[in-house]
Amino acid sequence: MLRKFVKMEGAGNDYIYFDCLREPLASPENLAVRLSDRHRGIGGDGIVLICPSGRADAKMRMFNADGSEGKMCGNAIRCVGKYLFESGAVPKSEMEIETLSGIKRLWLFPEGGTVRRVRVDMGKAEFAAAKIPVNLPSAQIIDYPLRLAGMQRRITCVSMGNPHCVVFEDPDGIELDAVGPLFENASVFPQRVNTEFVQKTGERSLKMRVWERGSGETLACGTGACAAAAASVAIGMFPRGEDITVRLPGGELVVNVGDRVLMTGEARMVFTGETEL
């Protein structure tokens, strides 16, 4: 059985998208593993299903390259908005998308019928340790000293609907393939964790590399960029309510941390095709 797909990316965070608004997709966990393989599959950080919702304009389900289901992806949801608008399924420049992390509001900026940039209300940054979750003896883990991955580090943990551990170290000096799995699977993170290595590069800018649970190092992570910006505000590096540019290997995202976290970035279609299910 052949099934159409769309390959899209936001800041280099690439997923394989399936329109499930009228026809569901069976066994997405197994499909994500097979199709995400960059040598024997289509290649991507995972797959995304665009599904109907009784609570919002549509629902996004995402599965990582290892088959695990993720709660939220800021780069993927921008692409979902782009697809819904350009396909005519949701012909609105403001829409709501249901995710496992709640309903997210999107603002699209179409140019001649094509959406290139999308802003997402990512919700509130959550610092309560129990809600991230992280098993450490403190109500909040902000600039917290902890020995991890063979050395003493200071970490800030935040949830953006999924768990993040932000470490302010030069990302270019990190052997991420070796260090990332040690963070992801550390016993203090009962649901595993996404880890961002971040450095301040200017008055309102950061550079970052990310190790995503279930996917490894990716070119970008929207929730990770939001977590990094929120952590930088929490430790007093930047003021609240101002745009922070987060530079990742795959591109730039602009994050504004106020009562809620707003993220703006590009969404791009790479190619379309059909695959045998």
Which tens digits make up the pLDDT trace of 148-176? Answer: 888 999 999 999 999 999 999 999 999 99
Q: 215 and 109, same structural domain?
A: no
Q: Name the residue among 75, 77, 45, 82 with its Cα closest to residue 61.
A: 77
Q: 252 and 192, same structural domain?
A: yes
Query: Which structural domain, as residue segments, surrounds residue 114?
Result: 2-120+265-276
Q: Return binding residues.
A: 13, 64, 74-75, 162, 194, 212-213, 222-223
pTM: 0.92
The active-site residue out of 79, 157, 165, 221 is 221
Backbone angles phi, psi at 226, to 5 degrees: -65, -40
The active-site residue out of 73, 79, 165, 226 is 73
Q: 139 and 74, same structural domain?
A: no
**Count of structural domains, the chain:** 2
CA dist., res. 111 & res. 108, Å (int): 10
Q: 138 and 101, same structural domain?
A: no
Q: 111 and 81, same structural domain?
A: yes
Q: 156 and 87, same structural domain?
A: no
- Catalytic site residue 20? no
CA dist., res. 107 & res. 4, Å (int): 27
Kindly report each contact of residues 31-39 with a partner whose C-beta sits within 8 Å and lies 24 or more positions away, as own/partner.
Answer: 31/63, 31/277, 32/63, 32/64, 32/65, 32/66, 32/67, 33/65, 33/66, 33/67, 35/275, 36/64, 36/65, 37/65
Q: Name the residue among 158, 148, 90 with its Cα closest to residue 118.
A: 90
pLDDT at 108: 98
Q: 17 and 44, same structural domain?
A: yes
Q: 64 and 37, same structural domain?
A: yes
Q: 80 and 137, same structural domain?
A: no
**What average pLDDT score do residues 172-187 get?**
96
Q: Return binding residues for substrate.
A: 13, 64, 74-75, 162, 194, 212-213, 222-223
- Catalytic site residue 73? yes
CATH at residue 168: 3.10.310.10
pLDDT at 149: 87
Is 117 a residue whose pLDDT tops 90? yes
Q: 24 and 92, same structural domain?
A: yes
Q: 71 and 162, same structural domain?
A: no
Q: 211 and 177, same structural domain?
A: yes
Give me the residues paired with residue 6 across strands: 17, 272
